Structure 1
């Protein structure tokens, strides 16, 4: 098999030789290291779907850590290996060493723990995308450049493109899928983020949702609560009391949240795990960015995702977001007619 790589990464002699002799049916054991939270687990799903397509006979193990168990894609692998990240150093080292030899190792994490696991695991070939290029020679036979300007889920697929694999587009996440013609007239808002500074203030969200409820009367406006105690919708209670089309939706587990999200018209949020869930269900999104580089979380292979951000990095204002929402809704659901009915005097 040809190594489909030129100047876009790192390839040593062992990696080139392995690729030249690769027969996919002979690959029996694959280890994928992915130690990450909810959103990045969602972005991993297309890689696992395509990995199974490329190596249908292989036993695929996903290695993660005990800290990140929510949304682990255990439905797409044969085994989940959980590293003990909370025990003693001796227990953690034992956990790192316990995995047996594999044919192929993918390090999709590039953390201190994943690098040590890569070093301690025997494999015929090791692939990764370290942020520091010097680690390629120490750890990997194939190294991929990691881009901030392409959707993370697509970047992961570069590992398989080196082997000549042709991924499906739009990406397949093996999740409930949004159907535009059946979408309920529901706009979902998720006003939280793992790092508070990445999201608008609660007062900004309150003003945005109240004005959206007035100017987009044909839609229900639903604030989705998160799993953390601080991710409560109480700050919107007065707005919900004043508007019949505003509601606060309690926390849902992933099995209920995924189909509910897929049935919605659009999600409005910042860089969050919930937004990654919407991307995974192909639900339209309006992303709000001012700290995070938007391109890494903004798929361009389908027309249902937009990003609101300013070139100078200023925080987008209420009117920026409402305009983006209007344009997205009218582009995706033209049969519903004009989405926005601006108030006579805008705040």
Structure 2
């Protein structure tokens, strides 16, 4: 990247976990170009997660849901008007360079709409390569957290530092999170944040295992707190019904407040999901459970551990061969999770 670079846009519109993984890129850009204008483009639901990052000058939201609704309603003319208005908004920032971290056709189109003279795509596919001026193939040490984004940062010659996920919550967000904690009698460092849910069942640890783990935590004087979105409410209620000492906040907090609560927790235990990766970003002791997906086993932090059995069939990603048995997760016992957690939290040893 040229030394005179002044206006940079990061495009990583979703998902939560990938935004967390990519978060150190903003700091690397700021260290390298302290006077640059740095912005991030992403979907509205995730935007609050990085809205308070001091390394960003602007957070731009892409109204994807609105565009899809107009398309489904057959209102193509209004959709075209909205697209043109959004293009004008993007071009008003006069970006020199766009970094498309997603590498998909949709993200490539968004990068192209900016009119930036340099558009760098990470692992671009789905035809998005044709919309880029440069393409950087994905690389890096797959065992390390945030590796592909570190690979891009190194390619660009950025001052990478430790290049670990980082989230910054405002005082307002932290106050709201503490108000939620107070309503449920949760003291800082006296509860364990649990992140059991994802959008893919093959990434889930089993509900009975969560029930056993929560019971063991309660026996040791720690309150398990279930975190998740509205879609997770039913499953969370089933887990919570196993023990009156479990606090169920699935669907009851906004994303930034959940992140702030994770920052206040004594420990986080979770599956391969965005909330779990926030544990590392908030420097909270974290135990991450991986099964069907490729894990990062190098967390970059002394207080974070990954449990992955490394079965021959794992990672299968979206194509399990076990008929739904998911031995890769079933064979991770609550006792093993507690043993690993005890390495990070003496109260559990």
Q: If the length of structure 2 is used for normalisation, what is the TM-score? A: 0.73
Instruction: Determine if contact 1:32/1:106 at 8 Å carries over to the other structure.
Output: yes
CA distance in 2, matches of 1:51, 1:185: 36
Shift of 1:38: 2.4
Shift of 1:195: 2.3
1:90 partnered with 2:80: yes
Write the mapping of 1:92-111 to structure 2, written as runs, cut at 5 A: 93-95=83-85, 97-98=87-88, 99-100=90-91, 101-111=94-104
Instruction: Determine if contact 1:30/1:60 at 8 Å carries over to the other structure.
Output: yes
Structure 2, gaps ≥5 residues long = 68-75, 170-186, 315-326
- 1:344 maps to none
- 1:11 maps to none
Shift of 1:206: 2.2
**Structure 2 vs 1, CA of residues 119 and 249 (structure 1 numbering), >3 Å: closer, same or farther?**
closer
Secondary structure, counterpart of 1:239 in structure 2 = coil
CA distance in 1, matches of 2:332, 2:152: 41
1:332 partnered with 2:341: no
1:60 partnered with 2:33: no
- 1:304 maps to 303
* Equivalent of 1:197 in 171, 194, 202: 202
Instruction: Determine if contact 2:105/2:127 at 8 Å carries over to the other structure.
Output: no
**Structure 2 vs 1, CA of residues 82 and 186 (structure 1 numbering), >3 Å: closer, same or farther?**
closer
**Structure 2 vs 1, CA of residues 196 and 54 (structure 1 numbering), >3 Å: closer, same or farther?**
same
* Equivalent of 2:59 in 80, 84, 107: 80
- 2:22 maps to 44
Shift of 1:164: 3.0
Q: If the length of structure 1 is used for normalisation, what is the TM-score? A: 0.74
- 2:179 maps to none
Shift of 1:129: 0.9
Once structures 1 and 2 are overlaid, which stretch shifts more, 259-268 or 318-327? 318-327
1:129 partnered with 2:122: yes
Secondary structure, counterpart of 1:274 in structure 2 = helix
- 1:260 maps to 261
Shift of 1:198: 1.8
Rg bigger for which structure? 1
Once structures 1 and 2 are overlaid, which stretch shifts more, 160-169 or 143-152? 143-152
**Structure 2 vs 1, CA of residues 148 and 112 (structure 1 numbering), >3 Å: closer, same or farther?**
farther
Instruction: Determine if contact 2:213/2:338 at 8 Å carries over to the other structure.
Output: no
Instruction: Determine if contact 1:204/1:318 at 8 Å carries over to the other structure.
Output: no
1:141 partnered with 2:154: no
Instruction: Determine if contact 1:189/1:221 at 8 Å carries over to the other structure.
Output: no
Secondary structure, counterpart of 1:315 in structure 2 = helix
Instruction: Determine if contact 2:195/2:270 at 8 Å carries over to the other structure.
Output: yes
**Structure 2 vs 1, CA of residues 80 and 186 (structure 1 numbering), >3 Å: closer, same or farther?**
closer
- 1:157 maps to 150
Instruction: Determine if contact 1:49/1:174 at 8 Å carries over to the other structure.
Output: no
- 1:120-175 residue CA offsets vs partner (Å, 9 max, x unmatched): 43334222212549854652325142468244534213333224333222636253
- 2:336 maps to 323
